[in-house]
Structure 1
Amino acid sequence: MFELEPEVTRWRGRLERSSSLSPREVDELEDHLRARFELELELAPECTLARAFGIACDALGEPAALSQEFAKAGGLRWRPLLFAAWALFAASFFLPLHRLVWVGSPKADLAMFSDVGYEFLGRVTTGGGLAMMVLGIPAVLLANLPMAMTLPALFGSRRPMRRWLRRVLGVMGVSGLGLGINNLFSPTILYGIGGDPIASHYEGLGSWLWAASFALAATALWLRDRNWATGKPERSAV
């Protein structure tokens, strides 16, 4: 005897195992399946329940084809955010991450590069010595690893991203922006040999962009996990 709910459960299981669709997409397709099933019964009252369900399943299509349709349906609004995050991230490596405002000196806003940016490798190879290379380079790579792990999503992978990655990106981005804001109002004062203040230390543009890129990437992944898309599959496929 045909029972609708067990059949729908089995259909969902096959779809989830055989496609890259998200749970939200599967939920949407289930709504289409149920609507098509009801429509078949209305159009052909003599049709058996099992036959109507089979027609509804066939009308939706195979799992692989459904995955492709959802991938093409509309523009994913989270992806431009991730592209923007990577643009900021790349730009931060070519901009000063720190700046000094000299006290009583015409050399105001002198830019200085820190050890978390594009200039780091050059600094450690010319003046940092072997110890800086051994300790500093792995630290830089580790600090930028979370952003590198978003590359699969950037290039179109539909596999779910780890939640901890989104959280790490968010914490690093918000913390970086928070420290920058705090330093903006309470800059670090640098003192000379005689104890007199000689400069105020602020975060540079590169530092702001670097932190903002992490926060933006975390937001993009959060929206991606919720499948925030502009389009839906064509109604004619139902």
Structure 2
Amino acid sequence: MNLKALTIITLTATLPLFAHGNEAGSKAGFKRLQSNIENAKGNLDDYKKNLTIVEGNITESSKARSQADRQKSEIASLVKDNKTSLQKIEKQEKDLNDLIKDEQGKITAEDKELKQLEAMVAKIKENRQIRDANIQNYQSQIQQMQAEKQTWVQRDQALGGQQAKANQRAKELASTENEWKNKKKGYEAEISRWSKELDKQQKSLSQYETLAEKK
């Protein structure tokens, strides 16, 4: 807004002019009246100028006020938008803080789980050492058993030879026994046959003797 300065107005005091005054006073009063007229004209022009300036200033003030009102509305809109953006940022910040809190909770839970897993791993490593010791013990026992096993293998081989001989001997004895059994059957058959033959001959002899006695 470009406001113009007003003109300062001055007016010389007017003294009353009396007809019955002296001549010097009349001339001085006349001059004052002329001066006042000139001053009045100057003041009139100045007031007209000032009026023009005031009217211009009013126009400029009105424009400035309208511009200020627009700026006020614009600023109010910007304030509203800024509050909306601020609320949005604050909500995003709250959401991010909630996410951070959630992640921190998960970290706490995972740290607890990690400690459990570490304890489990330590237990597994301890068990591994025990199992390695067991394996060494078992391997030592196997080495001892292999020496004992060799003795049993050799014994098995020896017994295998003895068993083969025993089987062969049993087979031979079984064959001999079968031969004797077969001979027994043959002898029994012959005994039965000759017993029958003896009975037959004895009966024939008895009949012959009976016939001889009758003659």
TM range (shorter): under 0.3
Structure whose CA Rg is larger = 2
- Larger helix share, 1 or 2: 2
Higher RCO, 1 vs 2 (CA within 8 Å, ≥6 residues apart): 1
The TM-score, its normalising length taken from structure 1, stands at: 0.22
The TM-score, its normalising length taken from structure 2, stands at: 0.23
